[in-house]
Structure 1
Amino acid sequence: MTHNTQKIRVIHIITRLNTENTDGAAMMLYKLMAHTDRHRFEPIVISLDGEAELSNRIRAHGIDVYSLDMHHNITAGWQIFKLTQLLRNLQPDIIQGWMYHGNLAASLANLSLGNHHAVLWNIHHALPALNKEARTTRWVIELAAKRSSTPEHIIYNTYLSADQHTALGYDDQRSLVIPNGFDTQLFAPNHYQRNAMRHSLGIPADAFVIGLFAHYHPVKNHALFLEAARLLLPHQPNVHFILAGRGVTENNPKLQYLLNKMPTKQNLHLLGGRKDIPHLMNALDLYTLTSSYGEGFPESVAEAMACGIPCVTTDVSDLARIIGNTGQCLPVQDTTPSALAFAWLEWMNAGDAWRQEVGSRAMQRIQQGYNIQTITDQYQKTYQRLVEDQQMSRMTLVTHLP
């Protein structure tokens, strides 16, 4: 139904609102909530899990958040009944699922409501191999594939993810790709941040700085980055490396072997988890992501580009499409430490003027195609079309009644 205020009420059902191990879905939902046109849309969020950090951050925007503590048993009849009752009271125009459990819960609840509402699914997960997923997650993925003709659209944030899920049996006629969006005011070139961050880390103003900001996980392949750094340092003593992310510290036993091989540790800055990523980005001359597989949407690359920092990455996910001609993607299977070190050296030798020109193109690319307001508008146009289609269907039905 459309309410007296004429606002379109969109109920978002997400598996959980914590920002760890969610492929960026929770944070993208938060950004979408923060930038939604509240004159035309009325968003409400339902988390199948308990309260989390983002719950109150979303509420701070005047948006209701319900936490149901049920995501481990979403297919239990009484759990779906609880969700159905809440949806019946909230009277949505559109139900949008986020993440596998949230998608399935959205469709099952809508089935209980007589399939009267338009449903959208949202998938932010790369799926290189189903057998790498936990058993319960595999079961939900496979069950969702069988029900993938029920949503109006399945929204993926990368073309790679859309292809991977289609190969598993997801309805390709429902596929719609909307990439992640970025705050291009928060992530933007800032010379003050650059100088202040370098000074705080003891990095000389004229040093060449390369960064990698990602939590420690085998898929991120920190070993490749550190081995390449080890090879480059003896030949370029003025290069510094900044690494940040959960578990990326000298105390991590899985990194100590690599760190002990370094010719010097003075040029290596392992910062662990940080909240000041825009400041760290601006301290760089070059950003690198060394993931070997399994990336969803690599947000750190787009954030670096928004700050005017050229990127040299492995060719995973949609990075070649995102970076375009504003950086370099190296074939995963051919990227040895020496190949990465050589690529870094080429970018260093290209000179400041060239890097600044490429960085400017990278910034414009994010501002034009990936800024959060542009991406929010894509979601909102999708909602508007769905409501208009529903209204047209109802009018057609009334016209044909005897």
Structure 2
Amino acid sequence: MSQLRVLHLITAAETGGAETFLCRLLSRLPRECFKSRVVCMVRPGHVGGRIRALGIPLATLGMRRGLPSVGAVRKLMEMLQDFQPDVVQTWLHHADLLGLVAARLAVESNLVWNLRNSRLDAAPWTTRAVVWLCARLSRLPEAVLTNSETARDQHRALGFRPRRFEVLPNGIDCGEFRPDPAAREALRKEFGISPETPLAGMLARHAPMKNHAGFLRAAALVLKELPEARFLLCGTGVTQVNRELMAQVNQAGLRGRVILAGYRQDAPRVLNALDALCVPSAYGEGFPNAAAEAMSCGVPCAATDTGDAARVVGDTGRVVPPNDEPALSRALVELLTLPPDQRTALAGRCRERIATEFSLDAAARAYASFYEELTGRR
């Protein structure tokens, strides 16, 4: 049987959750069964290079953010006509809309939307308009996928009524994200943190929904209980040149207690250095990748009840209401002060939960099965 041809259209290929998961998914879809291509609406970033390193062709439409382009539609139509995909898989709202227009004009293929974020509180009006339009057109794709039950339910509340609505959770590479005592020692040495120092961290790009300000306020409360604690923040825009973030650090009285490490390509090493990961999102989460990655490394999480965080964390960490810094600080203190035997046992439960329920292999099998069933190949 010939390979099933899948063209993935995504807004960008930077460091977001959707882009990262697409790259990981492509690394596990069997090449003998699937022939994949990726098209970015704008210029690709970090993840684009990783996709190309897999041997997957990646092209760009050269669009500018926030600006529609008739030329981009024509260019995408030419790519579709050249590749003749069995499935056009689009990722995120803008790509969903563009893919719908181009695919319907250019080829006969199965169009599948993929929705990730669950709320649009701080989204610009242009994005809200795209989402509104997608909701009205949501019966046109053959199917709509999402990575979380929360995103599915909240898109239904926004008016999405697809013919087929499926939840396919993200998956974590448990071989890449694994307990690594040597990495823990090396990274702590890099940042000048002793092995005994309680260390909590946050791995997220700087954006309102990620709620760095809330994390810093919670960290200040943690220091009242654990003066020796330190805090490590990594992600795009999380550096000392970020004036807004530095003002929040100073306002919380955390100068000298917080390390702002910026974007890191060694997330497994960073996570292994932590005693607890914090996911303080105020809104907008779908599937919290950072929490699942930390758990796969044996690091417990304190997370706010946004998206499917409670579903991922289960009974291996702490889940608190959004924007409740006292509750978040108490959760962090509980995790940072666990006795060694309890910490070891909890680390094992964290990793087992991800390996059992949210592994990358399981996610790839789910996508492969979905594409094959959709196209009648199974």
Q: Is this a same-fold pair by TM over 0.5?
A: yes
CA distance in 1, matches of 2:154, 2:127: 16
1:117 maps onto 2:109 in alignment:
yes
1:399 is matched with none
Question: Aligned residue for 2:348?
Answer: 360
Q: 1:169 to 1:201 in 2, by over 3 A?
A: same
**1:82 is matched by which residue type in structure 2?**
K
2:146 corresponds to 1:156 = yes
Distance in 2 separating the partners of 1:10 and 1:221? 36
The TM-score with structure 1 as length reference comes to: 0.86
Task: Structure 2: give runs of 5+ residues left out of the alignment.
Answer: none
2:12 aligned with 1:6, yes or no? no
1:91-102 paired onto structure 2 within 5 Å? 91-102=84-95
1:285-328 superposed Cα distances (whole Å, 9 cap, x missing partner): 11111111122322111111110011111111110011111111
Decide whether aligned partners of structure 1 residues 265 and 153 sit closer, same or farther in structure 2, where only a CA change above 3 A counts: same
In 2 relative to 1, CA 85–258 (structure 1 residues): closer, same or farther, beyond 3 Å? closer
Which whole-Å deviations, capped at 9, do the CAs of 1:65-87 have from their partners, x for residues lacking one? 222224766573x5434322321
Rounded to whole Å, the distance in 2 between the matches of 1:346 and 1:79 is 52
Q: Which of residues 132, 135, 139 in structure 2 aligns to 1:145?
A: 135
Q: Give yes or no for the alignment of 1:104 onto 2:97.
A: yes
Counterpart residue type for residue 223 of structure 2: L
In structure 2, what is the Cα distance between the partners aligned to 1:262 and 1:105?
43
Kindly indicate whether residue 364 of structure 2 is the aligned counterpart of residue 376 of structure 1: yes
SS in 1 for 2:172: coil
Is contact 1:230–1:261 with CA below 8 Å preserved after alignment?
no
For residue 237 of structure 2, what is the amino acid of its counterpart?
G
1:329 paired residue number? 319
Q: CA offsets, 1:326-380, max 9 Å, x none?
A: 11100125x23x3333223333444122122122111111112222121111111
Q: How many residues align?
A: 377
For residue 209 of structure 2, what is the aligned residue in structure 1? 219
TM-score, with structure 2 as normaliser: 0.91
Aligned identity (percent) is: 34
Aligned position for 1:300: 290
Structure 1 residues 357 and 6: alpha-carbon distance in aligned structure 2, compared to 1, 3 A threshold: same
Flag the 1:136–1:266 CA change in 2: closer, same or farther, 3 A.
Answer: closer
Q: Distance in 2 between matches of 1:87 and 1:221?
A: 39
Residue 12 of structure 2 is matched in structure 1 by: 16
Q: Which moved more, 1:222-231 or 1:257-266?
A: 257-266
> RMSD between aligned alpha carbons?
2.4
Alpha carbons 1:73, 1:79 under 8 Å: kept = no
Task: Note closer, same or farther for the CA distance 1:363–1:119 as it changes in structure 2 (3 Å cut).
Answer: same
Q: Secondary structure at the match of 1:332?
A: coil
Taking a change above 3 Å as real, the CA distance of residues 195 and 42 of structure 1, as seen in their structure-2 partners, is: same
The reply on whether 1:40 has 2:36 as its aligned counterpart is: no
Residue aligned with 1:233, SS = helix
Q: CA shift at 1:173, angstroms?
A: 4.1
Q: Distance in 1 between matches of 2:205 and 2:44?
A: 23
